[in-house]
Amino acid sequence: METFQRFEKKYLLDKDQYDQLMEKLKDHIVPDKFFKAQINSIYYDTDDHQMIRRSIEKPEYKEKLRVRSYEDADKDDRVFVELKKKLDGIVYKRRAQAKCDDVLSDIDHCKFDDEQVSREIGYVLNCYHGLKPSIYIGCSRNSFVDKDDEDLRITFDSDLRYRMNDLSLRKSDKDRKLTDQIVMELKVKQAMPIWLCRILDEVKAYPQSYSKAGNAYLMQAKGV
């Protein structure tokens, strides 16, 4: 079982901001061991999108269930099933592994590699009746860590895409563009260091609430 508990802050950057930021960060960060990845995620929801709609309302507590791979996944590949909860700005994430086809075809009877996480996922499935694969989100991710503190992680997501049909953990020519901006996410266990706050202020990068799945749902509803 993998468990994460941390603060997460998101920033939307244009190309100029990104270039300025990387120049200023170069003496502070190094690529992490999973530096480059093709992230494929499928978010589970009800037919009326109960989980996504609740997330858009920005409640104090929210949760999401998703399956994720870090490259295109076929039916027999092992993938991560993640239960992510957010309360008062703190993110709690639990995840286990399972076979891709088992998760996407029948998550209710899927065999996970961790019994505790399996029970927690089962509880969510009981609370939200009829959860099923709902939205695909894809992106290219570059990941860095503070060279002096590996508890500070910075990721940059680009080429953000979505689709709501023909769902699989693979990039598709049916994908629609989600945004031209780069989504930066800071993940820390404690407060951000002063040097990082100063750099973010210099490039005029400020935290924003941004849900990839939530924005995909809104764009689909608008026919974008």
Distance in Å from the first CA to the final CA of the chain? 38
Amino acid at 218: L
Would you give per-residue pLDDT tens digits along the chain (224 residues)?
565 667 889 999 999 999 999 999 999 999 998 899 999 999 999 999 999 998 888 888 889 999 999 999 999 999 999 999 888 778 888 999 999 999 999 999 898 998 898 999 999 999 998 899 999 999 999 999 999 988 899 999 999 999 999 999 999 999 999 999 999 999 988 788 999 999 999 999 999 989 999 999 999 887 76
Predicted confidence at residue 192, as pLDDT, reads 87
| Phi, psi (deg, nearest 5) at residue 32 | -85, 180
Contact 163, 185 (CB under 8 A): no
Nearest to 215 by CA among 166, 177, 186: 177
Predicted confidence at residue 3, as pLDDT, reads 56
Architecture, CATH, for domain 2-222: Alpha-Beta Barrel (3.20)
Domain positions in the chain: 2-222
Amino acid at 83: L
Beta bridge partners of 33: none
Sign of the torsion angle spanned by Cα atoms 48, 51, 55, 61: positive
